[in-house]
Amino acid sequence: MAPHLRLRPQLRLLLLVLGVALGLGSADPGLGHGAEASDRAEPDPYSILTWHDYSPPSPPPPPPTPEAPAATCADDLHGKGDFSTTCEVSEEVKLDGDIYIAGNGSLVLNSGAAMTCEKPGCVISANLSGEVRLGRGVRVVAGKVSLSATNITIADTVIVNTTGLAGDPPDRTSGVPTGTHGDGGGHGGRGASCYVRDGQTQEDSWGGDAYAWSDLEHPFSYGSKGGSTSVEKDYGGIGGGILWLFATDLLMNGTMLADGGDSSEKGGGGSGGSIFIKAATMHGSGKISASGGNGLAGGGGGRVSINVFSRHDDTQTLVHGGRSSGCPDNAGAAGTLYDAVPKSLDVSNNNMSTQTDTLLLEFPNQPLWTNVNIRNKAKVAVPLLWSRVQVQGQLSLKSGAILSFGLTRYPYSEFELMAEELLMSDSTIKVFGALRMSVKMLLMWNSRMSINGGGAVVGTSLLDASNLIVLKESSVIHSTANLGVRGQGLLNLSGDGDMIEAPRLILSLFYSIRVGPGSILRGPLVNGSNGDVSPKLNCEDESCPVEIIYPPEDCNLNSSLSFTLQVCRVEDIDVWGLVQGTVIHFNRARSVTVHTSGTISATGLGCKSGIGRGRLLSSGLSGGGGHGGKGGNGFVNGSRAEGGTAYGNADLPCELGSGSGNDSTGSSTAGGGIIVLGSWEYSLPSLTVYGTVESDGGSSIDAVTNSSIGPGGGSGGTVLLFVRTMTLAESSVLSSAGGFGRAGSGGGGGGRIHFHWSNIPTGDEYIPVAAIEGSILASGGMSKGPGFPGENGTVTGRACPKGLYGTFCKECPLGTYKNVTGSSKSLCFECPSGELPNRAVYTSVRGGAAETPCPYICVSDRYRMPHCYTALEELIYTFGGPWLFGLLLSGLLILLALVLSVARMKFVGTDELPGPAPTQQGSQIDHSFPFLESLNEVLETNRAEESHGHVHRMYFMGPNTFSEPWHLPHTPPEQITEIVYEDAFNRFVDEINTLAAYQWWEGSVYSILCILAYPLAWSWQQWRRRKKLQRLREFVRSEYDHSCLRSCRSRALYEGLKVTATPDLMLGYLDFFLGGDEKRPDLPPRLRQRFPISLIFGGDGSYMAPFSLHSDSVLTSLLSQAVPSSIWHRLVAGLNAQLRLVRHGNLKVTFLPVLNWLETHANPALAVNGVRVDLAWFQATTLGYCQLGLVVYAVEGEPVTAELDGSPRIKIEQHSVVQDMLADAQLSHSRVKDALMRKRITGGILDSNTLRTLKDRRDLLYPFSLILHNTKPVGHQDLVGLVISILLLADFSLVLLTFLQLYSYSMADVLLVLFVLPLGILSPFPAGINALFSHGPRRSAGLARVYALWNITSLVNVVVALICGFVHYKSSTKAHPSTQPWNLGTDESGWWLFPTGLILLKCIQARLVDWHVGNLEIQDRAVYSNDPSIFWQS
């Protein structure tokens, strides 16, 4: 080595400034242990070594750096260049001593070069302004290596090594072990010791102690030497050296070593040294190690500090302890790694098991460290009294790490742990003393926190996590002293094996606590060997602890209170696992839910003795413990042991259950504990149980005994629930049952369960306080032998207010009321039966019935409170009852009818009594029968002169219906063959038939209306008929060119054809005339030439269209040639009066009076004029419809024969009129057979014999014709109108009453009757009013017929109402007979009364309307006289 040169003054100043900048100062006190066995004879009880809590004095500051000569590049390093520019070294340089390099240039060690000084404590120092570059394969070896430059480049395979080359450690430190046990040296972590003193454990023994804690941010101490097993020879490994790197830019791909030196099996390993790296940027993935050396006992790790602002790659950094060959599971303790930029401390033992501690002493206050990471089986201890571990960020324990607070044998300290997060994964925290933890988040994964409180020496431990506490994967918090856990967020014990237990445990201030399946909350601790629990219980005091009923509000754990497990001020508690304790109390919670797998249990955790302890005989036979019920007596072979007595207050229990047996020998059972949910002042709003809440007595089958006779069962404890609402689901259990006795010993008595409901709502605010579907058990325990079971305990509830009864304050049963406070069911008295109306049943009301009368409802919504009347009954009884209501209604109807009659007379006036009708020109008409004469009037046939040009009348075939419209035959009759062209006539007939046919939709509308409302169908048919007639007339009058007529004048003047119809629009005919003033000698034919003449009746014999003979001016003028007009008009009036009585569907019977009338009244008068009429049928259509009418022929002068098709040939001869004509029918027939008829008429004559063959089809409406048909007039028109008015109002009143009755059934019945048929039941009233108040007899008669039609149609609606009433009556599930007198059928049995009344009313109305129509149409009743002379004289 080159000789040392004296430093220049500027170099000495530079080194001094560098030393100050690097903070080279004195070390903080360290800790040490490791005295030899011979040195441990009588320890001083007050010695710091005995108490294991000491602070050695700080080592003195290091001596000033000796002035050393500055090295040169060529002389000292055999390099090229100098330190002012660049010094390159390419060979291995071995130094004999310290070397100091300084300059403004650079130092480059090329590949293969080396710089070594293998003397302990040898220094290689370089302080350059340029760069230091170490090429591949370069080795730098020394006791201390310090490199400072702007840029430092360390290539891969470079080794900078200070391993085992440490100088002397600081004075007054105990890093070097004492004794000859081969212990490891200490520095950042304690050295291991494989020697264990008697009475101690491996954890109590270590080698060299830790030191230089205060310098871990910029370490500068050498590692310590390991111990030796020999006094003569030192086998211990030397400690690690010092390695400093200072640069702006650092590229570090090599290996930096400051490990402790290894030793053989005869010595301990040296402790790791110090490494300090400071740079602005750092690249590379090299290796940094300050680990302890291996040996018989491994050395402790050193200290590494990295102060790099920007790190771009991950560097492997090791500070673990050395391996111990003498105790492989106890390596040296890990050293420390401090990262200055994030201010984090990392302690890692590289997964090497150890029982030796790395000490964490005083934590800095300003600034606080951000994170502390303990991992990879590192074991860290905080041994100081009143020590605080505080970090700004995260405290993390991972991978088998252990963090200990305090000293194992002296758990008297109190510690504080403060951090944002405490994360534990496969790790352990041990606290010897008390712990005050304050974090925001505590997460435990397969970890354990064990707190050894050391009895009553230190206070309660408190774990405060403001946001979250989560235990997973069998994580445990175990405390031997009182423990409080509080927070503001969630406490979650996730699953199997997760547990928090302490002698007294309080959980408070959380928003939610979740005890997952398989997890446990337990207080107190249970000694598994003998079943003892802690704390000890005061079992002989009968007084109730006041805190059970009125707990303190502060939620602080107080050892003087009775609770062993308390949950206070927690919003929601979900129990899926086990909550176990002797005295369990949930106070100021919002909801508690015990799920299917969850259990809250105080079973067997009560007193083993107690007030109700069963008597014990010397044979071991015991009676069962008593509490809520007396304990069962033990009985074996005539020996009898009395069971314990019952004690406590059933209305507010707060006692522990009592045990049985001999607790001194362990052959005993304990009673149940106490479970209290809520408090007197702050009840629990909601308790939901799907699992189990139990405080059963212990059973002797679980007791440890060596005798065949075991103890009796313990008595059940107390379950006291201050709750508002509770749900006990199916399969859930709430139990305070007695335990089982063994081999003849008695069973335990049942405990006590009390529900203290708070603020039980009453009245309309009542809601059930409990929904009970599970089991509530307070039964006595059985005896496994001849012993007796214990008595049942008590299940009680708070005294219920009025209307409620029972343990759960349910509403009194229906039909009872309760007007006193109490819980017994006998307080619910029967309601007075006289206060319940018919059709009413008692109903439950919120809060139950508290007074009489008891609440009731009607059996159906159709009945109205308070008397359960229907709307109809309400109306009836409002007016005094059925009889008075009926009288008032009848009087009102008569009064209204009189008013209507007076109004009708004022409105109608004398229209019903018209004066003489205007006569046709040239005719003399008798006006005695004005309403029948009206049938003579036809539209546009007012001119008498038309009869002079009339040639022939051709009738339309068919009834003018939608199915069979009017149509004309194509062959012209022979009467008009001379005035028409046959081809043109055929074309004319085609056009007429086409126009007369109806469209399909017209018939469809008619069919629909026939089903829905037949009167509307009739009106629709008449309207379409009228439109059809108007269309035919317009066609013939203005559109058709009359081309079928031969007469030019007729074609030119459009006067040869005329279409007309009867007023009922069922019979139409086409008249043929000579045009204008055209004169022909043979035309028109005279009357005698036209015989026989067909006169067809209009109508079809129905009520709306009765048969009638329509005699217009043409026909009257024509017949006046043979018969005087007065005779003919009178005959027509009499005939039409008879035809009104003919009914369709019964023609064979009703036409007989017409035949008789013709023979007795008509033909004798006509015979004087040589004319006769006979009833006949004409023009049968393809559908079978034939028209009925008269055949008029002469009976004097030249005989005329007429062959009537379809009937025998009848000869008609001229003869004198004789008075016995009616009896000489044979003479009439002979006259027909004597002559041939010049014209043929299609049809046949009807007499009494041929009438039987007449086809008369009946349709579906025929039954109504039995009620509704035309009748003879009865007179008394005003009286009939008055009665109709009364019946019309009565009908409408009954309809309204029927609707009220139907509404009492259901609204559907009302709608059904109203719309089947649609509005049919309401239409008769407006139709009747319209008919009564119409002007003119003809209009009144027509509207009266429509009214009658609506009236009879509404019978369908009435029948529907009858059916609805019958169905309702039959479907009633319960009969409610009325106790009232007969009440117009307003009860269910009178369902038929109103519909039946309506049917009768409508039938009576139908008959009166028939009379009314008869009075309107026929005001001269002489037309029905059987005396012909009276008929003809009127």
Peptide bond into 1092 cis (omega under 30): yes
Residues 76-95 as b or e (16 or more Cβ within 10 Å = b): bbebebebeebbbbeeebeb
Question: Does pLDDT of 51 surpass 80?
Answer: no
Confidence band, pLDDT 50/70/90 cuts, at residue 29: very low
Distance CA 43, CA 1223 (A): 170
Q: What is the mean pLDDT of the chain?
A: 83
Contacts of 838 (CB under 8 A, 6+ apart): 868, 1376, 1377, 1378, 1379
499: amino acid identity, one letter: M
Residue ranges of alpha helices (H) inside 965-999 are 982-996
Query: Could you please report the per-residue DSSP string of 285-310?
Result: --EEE-PPPPBSSPPPP-EEEEEEEE
Contact (CB, 8 A) for 227 and 267: yes
DSSP state of 39: G
Cα separation of 93 and 76, whole Å?
Answer: 8
Interval 81-139: pLDDT, tens: 999 999 999 999 999 899 999 999 999 999 989 999 999 999 999 999 999 999 999 99
Neighbours of 737 (CB within 10 A): 34
Q: What are the angstrom distances between the C-alpha of 132 and each of 99, 147, 490, 745, 1205?
A: 15, 8, 56, 92, 150
**d(Cα 1290, Cα 1200) in Å, to the nearest integer?**
62
3-state SS assignment for residue 410: strand
CA distance 195 to 175: 17
Q: What backbone torsions phi and psi does residue 10 show, to the nearest 5 degrees?
A: -65, -30
1384 pLDDT band, cuts 50/70/90, is very low
pLDDT-above-90 percentage for the chain:
47
- Section 382-397 average pLDDT: 86
Q: What is the mean pLDDT of residues 1149-1163?
A: 92
Check residue 321 and give its pLDDT: 96
Give the lowest-confidence range in 230-244, 1099-1113, 1179-1193, 1394-1408.
Answer: 1179-1193
Higher pLDDT, 498 or 903: 498
Strand pairing report for 139-141 and 242-252: unpaired
Q: Evaluate if residue 920 carries a pLDDT over 60.
A: no
Q: Tell me what pLDDT residue 785 has.
A: 81
Closest CA to 1267 of 1151, 1397, 1400: 1400
Arithmetic mean of pLDDT, 349-364: 91
Q: What is the pLDDT of residue 946?
A: 58
Q: With CA atoms as reference, report the closest residue to 150 among 277, 279, 21.
A: 279
- What would the pLDDT profile of 772-792 be if each residue is shown by its tens digit? 999 999 999 998 888 899 999
pLDDT tens for each residue of 512-551: 999 999 999 998 887 644 555 656 677 887 788 888 888 8
Contact 794, 628 (CB under 8 A): yes
The closest of 472, 460, 1380, 1282 to 893, measured between CA atoms, is: 1282
Which of 879, 888, 896, 606 shows the shortest CA–CA distance to 752?
A: 606
The H or E element that residue 1090 is part of is helix 1087-1090
CA atoms within 13 A on the CB side of 787: 38
**446 backbone φψ class: left, alpha, beta (φ>0; ψ -120 to 50):** left
Nearest to 356 by CA among 399, 318, 304, 402: 402
Long-range contacts of 1216-1221 (CB under 8 A, 24+ apart): 1217/1164, 1217/1167, 1217/1168, 1217/1170, 1219/1164, 1221/1159, 1221/1163, 1221/1164, 1221/1167
For 1342-1362, what is the mean pLDDT? Answer: 90
Q: What is the Cα–Cα distance from 752 to 718, expressed in whole angstroms? A: 5
Task: With beta carbons less than 8 A apart as the criterion, state whether 714 and 670 touch.
Answer: yes
CA distances from 1272 to 33, 58, 170, 1100, 1257 (A): 144, 147, 150, 18, 25
Query: According to the model, what pLDDT value does residue 707 have?
Result: 56
- Six-digit token pair at 1094? 């067909």
Per-residue pLDDT tens over the stretch 268-320: 999 999 999 999 999 999 999 999 999 999 999 999 999 999 988 889 999 99
First to last CA, the chain: 179
The letter for the amino acid at 255 is: T
Residues in the chain: 1434
User: Which range among 175-184, 236-245, 1042-1051 shows the weakest confidence by mean pLDDT?
Assistant: 1042-1051
Cα within 13 Å of Cα(1234), Cβ side: 14
Q: Which of 903, 917, 918 is nearest to 1419 (CA)?
A: 917
- Lowest model confidence (mean pLDDT) among 48-57, 360-369, 1007-1016, 1279-1288: 48-57
Which structure tokens are listed for 689? 């149980």
Q: Kindly state the helix (H) or strand (E) to which residue 930 belongs, with its residue range.
A: helix 930-933
pLDDT in tens, 831-857: 998 888 888 888 888 888 999 889 888
Q: Which residue has the higher pLDDT, 722 or 45?
A: 722
Query: CA 272 to CA 223: how far, in whole Å?
Result: 5
Q: How is 699-725 classified by DSSP, letter by letter?
A: -GGGS--SSSS---PPPP-EEEE-EEE
Any idea of the CA torsion for 898, 901, 904, 908, to the nearest 10 degrees? -150
pLDDT band at 987, cuts 50/70/90? very high
Q: Rounded to the nearest 10 degrees, what angle do helices 1277-1305 and 1355-1371 cross at?
A: 30
Asked whether the predicted pLDDT for residue 50 surpasses 50, the reply is no
> In whole angstroms, what is the distance from residue 1159 CA to residue 1223 CA?
9
Angstrom distance (rounded) from CA 126 to CA 734:
81
Mean pLDDT for 894-917 is: 66
Query: What pLDDT score was predicted for residue 12?
Result: 39
Confidence label for 1175 from pLDDT (cuts 50, 70 and 90): very high
pLDDT one-digit tens code per residue, 1194-1240: 885 443 333 333 333 223 333 333 344 444 433 444 344 333 343 45
Q: How far is CA 393 from CA 441, 450, 581, 990, 1018, in A?
A: 11, 23, 36, 112, 99
In this prediction, residue 1077 carries a pLDDT of 54
Buried b (16+ CB within 10 A) or exposed e, 1085-1123: eebbebbbbbbbbbbbbbbbbbbbbbbbbbbbbbbbebb
Q: What value does the mean pLDDT take over residues 1297-1324?
A: 86
Q: Cα(300)–Cα(185) distance, rounded to whole angstroms?
A: 6
Q: Does the pLDDT of residue 3 top 90, yes or no?
A: no
More confident position, 707 or 1037: 1037
Per-residue confidence at 916, pLDDT binned at 50, 70, 90?
A: very low
410-431 pLDDT, tens digit per residue, is 788 888 999 999 999 999 999 9
pLDDT band at 1179 (very low <50, low <70, confident <90, very high): confident
CB 625 within 8 A of CB 786: no
Q: CB-hemisphere CA count at 13 Å for 1434?
A: 19
> Regarding beta strands 255-257 and 159-161, do their DSSP bridges make them parallel or antiparallel, or are they unpaired?
parallel
Report strand pairing: 950-955 vs 1068-1073.
antiparallel
**Higher confidence at residue 437 or residue 619?**
437
- The pTM of the whole model exceeds 0.85: no
Q: Collect all residues with Cβ–Cβ distance below 8 Å to 523 and sequence separation of at least 6.
A: 501, 502, 503, 504, 505, 564, 565, 580, 581, 582
